Structure 1
Amino acid sequence: MPPQLRTVIVEDNATVRENLVGALEELTCIRVQVALGTEREAQDWLGASDHPWDLLLIDLLLRQGSGMGLVQRLAQRRPNQKVVVFSNYVNAGVRKRCAQLGVDAVFDKSTEIDALVDYCARQCACLAGDGA
């Protein structure tokens, strides 16, 4: 079995979450470990030491809390753990703030889904040792 990218999705819209999980698992090596809807759920899950992860995909606006609040708490992650923002509310200011907080990539939900899939595929290639 090829390596899988252990992924956590933090997205409060159930339809978006289901579509995202389906697309990423079908098109890339991503295996979604858990999909969460609030900042608190994500904090609790990520805070448990027995939950290893490789990729965290976060929406900025959540039912409770915010993706940005979660990103700010992730400064102490392992170098191989990637944090990606996927939101409808992406602009130059958001991209700049995410970069300041160490986010690895930012994608706009309405226009950059293909770019997100490409990014995930590149992460899978790196995981497989292709160095892409």
Structure 2
Amino acid sequence: MACKTYLVEDSALIRDNLVGFLEDVGEAEVVACAASENEAVAWLHSHRDDWELAIVDLFLLQGNGFGVIKACRDRAANQQVVVLTNYATVEMRERSHALGVDAFFDKSSELDLLVDWLESRRAKH
């Protein structure tokens, strides 16, 4: 069964490519997308039970992914949050983990690790 995934990514080109990639390779069902922090937070608050996985970029058209991650703090036990960014510095990883993300991946070099993580998640559920 496909994992209901919420994608927060500001680049339309990357977003479109990720939707196809996640649905084909990650066996995910992308239920909605957002390009800004405000849009993402509003969707998360009004759709609390409509997602199982949120994949969040850190730099957005408005605001940033940290605000989106904070909005996920009171998520259900079956919901997980992943950061997928081009800004995969040690500081960004540490800050994201301190805010409670379940995993952190570099868009440019760790998509294979994301796929492995998705497969591991699927095996557990």
Which TM class, normalised by the smaller chain length? over 0.9
Asked if residue 24 in structure 1 is aligned to residue 22 in structure 2, the reply is yes
Q: Which residue pairs with 1:80 in the alignment?
A: 78
Instruction: Mark the structure with the bigger radius of gyration.
Output: 1
Q: Relative contact order (alpha carbons < 8 A, sep ≥ 6): 1 or 2 greater?
A: 1
Name the TM-score, length of structure 1 as normaliser.
0.89
- 1:25-104 maps to which residues of 2 (within 5 A)? 25-49=23-47, 51-104=49-102
How many pairs are equivalent? 125
Q: Distance in 2 between matches of 1:41 and 1:49?
A: 12
Among all aligned residue pairs of Structure 1 and Structure 2, give the percentage whose two residues are the same amino acid.
Answer: 42
Task: Name segments (4+ residues, structure 1) moved above 3 Å.
Answer: none
The DSSP-based 3-state class of the residue aligned with 1:32 is strand
Structure 2: runs of 5+ lacking an equivalent: none
Aligned 8 A contact 1:88 1:110 in 2: yes
The DSSP-based 3-state class of the residue aligned with 1:71 is helix
Alpha carbon RMSD of aligned pairs, Å?
1.3
Give the counterpart of 2:113 among 107, 112, 115: 115
Q: CA deviation at 1:50?
A: 6.2
Name the TM-score, length of structure 2 as normaliser.
0.94
Write out per-residue CA displacement over residues 51-88 of structure 1, whole angstroms, 9 at most, x where no aligned residue. Answer: 51100000000001100111122211111110000001
